[in-house]
Amino acid sequence: MSESLRIALAQINLLVGDVAGNAGRVLESARRARAELGADLVLFPELTLCGYPPEDLLLHRGLRRQVERGLARVRDEVRDVAVMVGFPEYTRAGIYNSAALIANGEIAAMHRKAELPNYKVFDEKRYFQPGTQPTIVTAKGLRVGLLICEDLWTPQSAQLARAGGAELLAVINASPYEIHKQREREDIARARAHDVGLPIAYVNLFGGQDELVFDGNSFVMDARGEVLMRAPPFAEGSFVAEFVRDARGKVTPLAGTVAAGLSDEASVYSALVLGVRDYVGKHGFPGVVMGLSGGIDSALTLAIAVDALGAERVQAVMMPSRYTSSMSVADAEEQARLLGVKYSVLSIENMFEATLATLRNEFADRPPDAAEENIQSRCRMLLLMGLSNKTGRMLLTTGNKSEMAVGYATLYGDMAGGFAPIKDCSKLLVYRLAAYRNSLGVAIPRRVIERPPSAELRPDQQDSDSLPPYEVLDPILEGFIEEDLSVDELEARGFDRATVARVLDLVKRNEYKRRQAPPGVRVSRRAFGRDWRYPITSGYRR
């Protein structure tokens, strides 16, 4: 009789620091995986009990006590099924990023993560000690090698598990989303499968945590590197796969449902919606408020907010000034009607005029410039923050990555707020996302997408007055921010040297603004925030 093992991949949404709540989610998911899916073993994401990334919470003695209680609870209460649960393991030698295999009321085995990532958004070497030994357990007659996330990204841990007798690899992960990340994960897993000739069960975390979004996309791969099961992206749930030892004694997974991949626009949009939903929800805000200018950035942000939270939890405010066009007023009203949100029109003209009158003597003999433009933006933020304070709704900001990069935003003005959904989306990507969202059902008036972008802070203003065309600006920014290219290297790609030098100077000069910006969803290979650490004060010149 052939031996088989049914493994459930628990793609669940956890909350950093909520150890008791996370332990409860483990118990409920394990119970349902056994009762509804017939699972023998349930894999939970990396650092299940404390959530990922816990950052300096790991250093609090109170967290240690809660983790110990949470692990004991899972050990004592899980029944009729084995579980692999991630947790921070505190020892005299330091903290380990560990996973416990729990079965029959006992901790049957523990694996300590060997490969600790310390790049991009990861800084695990700040907190954890590396493990050194492979961990192989027997589950229903099959020998399973336990790995944690980065252990799969280099050959050694998989090879040690294979040498120790593993017949399949079980990998628990907290791998954050970025565009094309699933392709990279599966390429890495395929390389490991080829290295060691073993199938892989890979579970990933789901949900939003500050700037990071975890997209799930858990999968099962055979020893040839073929994906035989893939869980749906951006969806919570448990998904089962069966591994069978065949007549030749080789363990192989049976084919299951392989969820289709998403287009770039669909995956980014899904990440933005999930990031907003969980940031607002996990902080307990009743909803959000935001400015709606009639431009493309606020239009996309409003669509994201409604898709994330529902129209009843979103308030949009149009705040016209003497420079706001009638087209902008009409388009903002039309979008608010399309999406069914609470909509207000609050003119800033009196505030703006009063501020100019107060500063008249101070501004005497000086021509109008960015100061007057920024005053308008700050008047708007005064109204929005007042509404946020009064209603308890969090303020969403609407700036994009191109603007944040070159400082085309007002400090304590349109940069103010609690969360910036499209902070990591270039202007060209904003247009693509707007078109994608409208393909699902019209949410953004066509004229908003087609008209030239403008801040409308002075007569006849357009973005192109101050910036290179976005078709030029965005590739330069991507090369510098995501690839660390120099002026010489960008010029070699065909860009005008003077334009490149000007753009890069703007990026470096405006670091002080970005340090004071709200967090936003990370979707690119390198976002402003956790994985962008440039000095504010610097004498470096290209």
Pairing of strands 142-148, 136-139: antiparallel
Percent of the chain with pLDDT over 70: 98
Indicate the SS3 state at residue 324. Answer: coil
CA dist list (Å): 69 to 28, 42, 80, 100, 185: 17, 20, 21, 14, 33
Catalytic-role residue among 89, 113, 401, 403: 113
Active site (annotated) includes residue 113: yes
User: For residues 11 and 233, what is the distance between their CA atoms, to the nearest angstrom?
Assistant: 10
* CATH class of this structure's domain 265-462+510-514: alpha beta
* Residue type at position 131: G
Residue 2 has pLDDT above 70, yes or no: no
Which uninterrupted H or E stretch holds 6? strand 4-11
Query: What is this structure's pTM?
Result: 0.94
Q: Pick the closest to residue 416 from 449, 451, 456, 387 (CA basis).
A: 387
Instruction: Calculate helix-pair angle for 427-439, 470-483, nearest 10 degrees.
Output: 110
pLDDT of residue 1: 42
Residue 48 has pLDDT above 90, yes or no: yes
Answer yes or no: are the C-beta atoms of 431 and 469 closer than 8 Å.
Answer: no
Instruction: Read off the pLDDT of residues 380-431 as tens digits, 9 standing for 90 and up.
Output: 999 999 999 999 999 999 999 999 999 999 999 999 999 999 999 999 999 9
How would residue 525 be classed by pLDDT, with cut points 50, 70 and 90? very high
How would residue 539 be classed by pLDDT, with cut points 50, 70 and 90? confident
Residue 540 has pLDDT above 80, yes or no: no
Catalytic-role residue among 46, 150, 456, 478: 46
- Listed in order, strand segments (DSSP E) in 157-299 are 168-173, 200-204, 206-209, 212-215, 219-221, 227-230, 237-245, 251-253, 288-291
Tokens 């799969």 -> residue: 152
Report residue 408 as tokens.
């085309």
Answer yes or no: are the C-beta atoms of 499 and 476 closer than 8 Å.
Answer: yes
Catalytic-role residue among 50, 89, 124, 149: 149
CATH entry, 4-258, from 3.60.110.10, 3.10.290.10, 1.10.1060.10, 3.40.50.1820: 3.60.110.10
* Residue type at position 249: G
Strand partners, 317: 291, 344
Q: Where in the chain is the domain with CATH 3.40.50.620?
A: 265-462+510-514
| Max Cα-Cα span within the chain | 94
Which uninterrupted H or E stretch holds 515? none
Active site (annotated) includes residue 46: yes
Q: Where in the chain is the domain with CATH 3.60.110.10?
A: 4-258
CA dist list (Å): 186 to 93, 230, 237, 303: 34, 10, 20, 31
User: For residues 514 and 406, what is the distance between their CA atoms, to the nearest angstrom?
Assistant: 10
Report residue 239 as tokens.
């998904």
User: For residues 431 and 538, what is the distance between their CA atoms, to the nearest angstrom?
Assistant: 34
- Average pLDDT value for residue range 82-102: 96
